[in-house]
Structures are given as structure tokens and as C-alpha cells.
Amino acid sequence: MTISFEGRVAIVTGAGGGLGRDYALELARRGAKVVVNDLGGSRDGMGASDSALKVVEEIEALGGEAMANGGSVTEYEQMVEMAARVKERWGGIHILVNNAGILRDKSFSKMDPVDFETVVKVHLTGAAFATKAVWDTMREQAYGRILMTSSSTGLFGNFGQTNYGGAKLGVAGMTKTLYLEGAKYNIRVNTLAPVAATRLTEDIFPEAAFAAFSPEKVVPAALYLVSEDAPTNAIVGAGGGAFHCSWVTMNPPVVLPEDEQTLEGFAAAWNRISDRIGDFVPQSGGEQSGVILNALAAALKG
């Protein structure tokens, strides 16, 4: 089976290098028209370059069709303008890969609030702005595939990356509501947590691991998650040719008797409350309330 993107228009943010570049190139190889969005700044978001134009040239050398865009994901008007130009040129927007990102790592005690705000604005607000700019088009055409880029830092934590981790768990949270709102319009939304050797991680990986975690080894997961037969609401990890899924789970509620609904009662029951036996994956936030109500009703009957 060959998965094709013929007839699809894809926007990849942060596509001037690293993972975004590899996504853009493979989408183009498989027939998509690709918008290469990138400011061309350094990994802390400073400066600019013509990196997007260079990727467009690579795509055109392969016989593909692409356009460069230098709009900032942190400026909503620029994302709206990008979407309008794409729609005018190619008639639609079928795929959005939210990949743009920067790093400003420091321990929380040493982190300047501006560095916290800036990283959150690029990763979280930027993903929201880019998604909002294409959302109505995807609804109108009853087709959309959106990929959010999270991180193991967001899902599990990492020292010195409070800003990055907060933003990256935030995009996973956006996925969990957008997939519900997009379902009847055939818009599928997924989250990818990649592990790749890029300029954002070049001083984190040892040299041997840097080669093993080349960006192209993440591409199969990313492209599947924006393909026609993609799942929705998945959280997928990818790196070095290994792939896994992650889930947000809850366990069955422990209903405390009336006289134990105190601080001391909660403390005494903590081992039962935190026991993961029987945990499951809710499909929406409302399910939590429903499970609690059912547990309360069962306790009253029992």
C-alpha cells in the first residue's frame, strides 16, 4: 500500500530546517503542494534567514510544487494572511503541521519571565493561531488533518524546561478539544512527541545518539497522522525508528464515606485513590464527571 498526498495542500510551520524540512520534503515527494513557513531565526527565536526559500528550491528540484512563507506564528494576522494566500493559489488547505518552535532553557529559579512567555507564545499560542487561521477552511471543505507537536518534556517533564514543558502539554490539551469540535467536519487532530537530532537538541544528545535520532526517522509517524486514514486524538512518540503511544488516563473513583470526607480521611485513603488498577482513557472531559456520578450512585445503592 502506498500512501499518497496527491491533491492535498499542506502547511508546515518551522519548515526551514530539522523536522519541518523533512516533513515538507516527504509531503512533496508524495504529491502534496507544500507551504514552507519559517522565520529563519536561531533556536532561541532571534534573527532571520532565507531557510524557507531554500527548502522550496529543494522541493522544486524534486519536481514538486511549494511556496515559502515568512509569517510569524505568534502574529495571528500573519497566519490569516498566509492561509488566504494559500487558498487563493491552490484552492484549499488540507493539512497543517504545527512544528514551529524555539528553546530558552533555564532552571525555573533563573528563568526570566520574558523567556517563559516567549516560548509559550511560539509553541502554544502559535499553534493556536495557525490552527485558527485554517480552521474555517477545513470545516467548509469537510476535510482537515492537523498535527500538534508536543514533547516528552510536556508529557513527562525535564529539568530546566518549565516554559517548554508547559507549552508542550498545552498543545496536547488543545488536541483533546479540537478533535471533538472537528469530528463532524472530518477534521482529525493528533499530537506527536518527536525525539530527533536537530539544532534544538544538538547540545543535548551525545554524538553517537545524534546520528541515531536523525529527523527522517520521525517522518513516518508525522505523515501517517496527517494522512487520509489518520486516527484522531492520538498521542504518538517517535524517535530513532521506534514508535509508541501515550495516554491520559484516570482510575475508578474512590467514594469516601461522609465522615471520612476530611483532609485526614483523604490522606488515609491515598494509596487506594492513587492505585492505577482499572485505569482507562476518557474520550472527553465530561466523562470524568460521568464516572464520578456513577460511582456516587453506586455507593448510595450499596
Q: Look over the chain and give the mean of its residue pLDDT values, rounded to a whole number.
A: 93
Of the residues 164, 179, 185, 224, which is catalytic? 164
The pLDDT score that the predictor gives to residue 282 is 96
Nearest Cα to 83, choosing from 29, 3, 140? 140
Whole-prediction pTM value?
A: 0.92
Q: Is the pLDDT of residue 40 over 80?
A: no
Pairwise CA distance, residues 283 & 231, whole Å: 13
Q: Is the pLDDT of residue 46 over 50?
A: no
Q: Is the pLDDT of residue 287 over 70?
A: yes
**Using an 8 Å Cβ cutoff, are 232 and 183 in contact?**
yes
Pairwise CA distance, residues 23 & 9, whole Å: 13
Whether 164 sits among the annotated catalytic residues: the reply is: yes
Average pLDDT over residues 90-105: 96
Q: Is the pLDDT of residue 69 over 80?
A: yes
The pLDDT score that the predictor gives to residue 49 is 53
Position 238: which residue type?
A: A
At 219-254, the pLDDT tens digits run 999 999 999 999 999 999 999 999 999 999 999 999
Average pLDDT over residues 50-77: 96
For residue 118, what pLDDT band results from cuts at 50, 70 and 90?
very high
Nearest Cα to 11, choosing from 103, 125, 121, 129? 129
Question: What cell was used for 228?
Answer: 487520509
At 158-216, the pLDDT tens digits run 999 999 999 999 999 999 999 999 999 999 999 999 998 755 555 555 666 667 778 99
